[in-house]
Amino acid sequence: MFKKILLTASIATFIASQALAQTADSLAHYTNPKPHKVVELQDRQFGETPKNIILLIGDGMSATQIFAGITVNGGMLNLNHMKHIGFSQTQSADNYITDSAAGGTAIATGQRVNNGVIALDADGQPIPTILQISDKNGKATGLVSTSGITHATPASFIAHQTSRNMYEAIAADFLKTDIDIFIGGGLEHFNQREDGKDLTKDLKDKGYQVFTSLEESAGSSEAPMAIFTAEGHNPDFDGRGEMLTEATRKVIEVLSADPDGFFVMIEGSQIDWGGHDNSTPYIVGEMLDFDRAVGAALKFAAEDGETLVIVTADHETGGMTINGGNFEAHSVTAKYTSTNHTAVMVPTFAYGPGAEAFMVYMTIPIFS
C-alpha cells in the first residue's frame, strides 16, 4: 500500500512538472502569426524647433523588448525609421530601481521624485508637467493609454498626488486642467466613486463630449473630449484589437486642428505587464501593438514636417534576455531575471525637428 501511495505521488509530481514545463515553454516562446507592414517614409529635412510633440512611452520597454519585436516582425519595425537614438538612466530619487510613478514624473516634469509619487517635489509641492506647461503656452494637449487613464504613467502628466494608488483623486485632477482630449480606461474612477460623485457629469458641465468607446466618438473631432475605452484597464492586445493605433490617429486628428500646435503623451502600458508575468507572447504582442501606434505618429510627422516624435520608456521590466530567434520564422525565445522592474538603461528614439538633440542622459532632459 505504501509503495502504491509513493508511486501515485511520483506520477502526480511528474505530471505536474510536465505541465509546469509546458507552461514555461509557452511563456518563453512567441511566433508572430501576422507581421505588420511598416510605414514608408520619404527622406526629408526638418527645422530645429517643433510646433508639435508626440511622446510615446513603452512602459517596461528596453532594447531587448524592441529587438524581440524586430525579430518576430521579420527584421523591421516602425521604430527603425527613427535614426536619432540615445539612452536614458531611470533611477528615482529614493531608489536605484524606479517605478512608473517616479519614472513617468521624471519624463513629465524634468525632476526625479520618490517611487510612488505623482508629480510632487520633496516638500509635497506640485511640479508643473510638460502637459500643463504646454496648455499654459496655448497648445492643445492630450493623453492616451492602454491602461486606465488614471494609472501611474498618464497620471504623471496631469495629476499631483502623494501616491499613485489614489486613483479617484487622480481622476479629480483631470477637472483641474483644460486637457483637450484623453483616451483610455478607468471610467470607474470617474463615475463609481466612494464620494458618490459622477465626474463625467462635471466633465460635461465643463464642455467635454464624453464617450464610452472610440467607435462612439467617430463622428466628432471637436475638442474637448473624453473617451473612456474600459471601466477599469483595457484588455491585452488580443482583446482590444487596434485600439492604441486608432486612439493615436484620433488624438492627432483632434489636436492638429489647433493652429498653435500640440503636445500629447501616448502610452503602451502593457509591455510592462507582460514583463511582470515573464510572458514572451504578452510582451512581444504588446510591443508590436505599440509599434503600430508609433507608425501612425511617424506617418503624420513625416507629412506635417513640424512634429517631433519621441519614443522612450520609463523603465525596463522583467530582465528580459533573448536566447533564440528566427527572422524568417518570425519567432523568438526569451528568459527573465526578475518579475519586477530593473535598473537597465532604456532607449530613446527621435524623429523630426530637434531630433538630433537626443543622446545618453538621465530621464529628466526629455522634459527640457
Phi/psi at 252 (5° precision)? -65, -40
314 is in an annotated binding site: yes
In this structure, what is the dihedral angle of CA atoms 305, 208, 237, 330, given to the nearest 10 degrees?
-10
121 is in an annotated binding site: no
304 is in an annotated binding site: no
Give the three-state DSSP class for 262.
Answer: strand
What is the strand order of the sheet 262-268 is part of?
209-211, 225-228, 181-185, 140-148, 262-268, 52-58, 307-312, 346-351, 84-89, 361-362
- Distance CA(208)–CA(202), nearest Å, equals 9
Segments of 201-352 assigned E as strands: 209-211, 225-228, 262-268, 307-312, 316-317, 321-326, 331-335, 341-342, 346-351
Q: Are strands 262-268 and 52-58 parallel, antiparallel or unpaired?
A: parallel
Catalytic residue among 62, 88, 92, 100: 100
- In contact, 353 and 306? CB cutoff 8 Å: yes
100 catalytic residue (yes or no):
yes
* H or E element in which residue 244 lies: helix 243-255
* H or E element in which residue 46 lies: none
315 is in an annotated binding site: yes
User: Residue 212: which of 230, 199, 235, 193 has the closest Cα?
Assistant: 230
151 is in an annotated binding site: yes
272 is in an annotated binding site: yes
- Which residue is listed with cell 505618429? 297
Q: Which residues are annotated as a binding site for Zn(2+)?
A: 59, 272, 276, 314-315
Q: Which residues are annotated as a binding site?
A: 59, 151, 153, 267, 272, 276, 314-315
Which residues carry out catalysis? 100
Q: Which residues are annotated as a binding site for Mg(2+)?
A: 59, 151, 153, 267
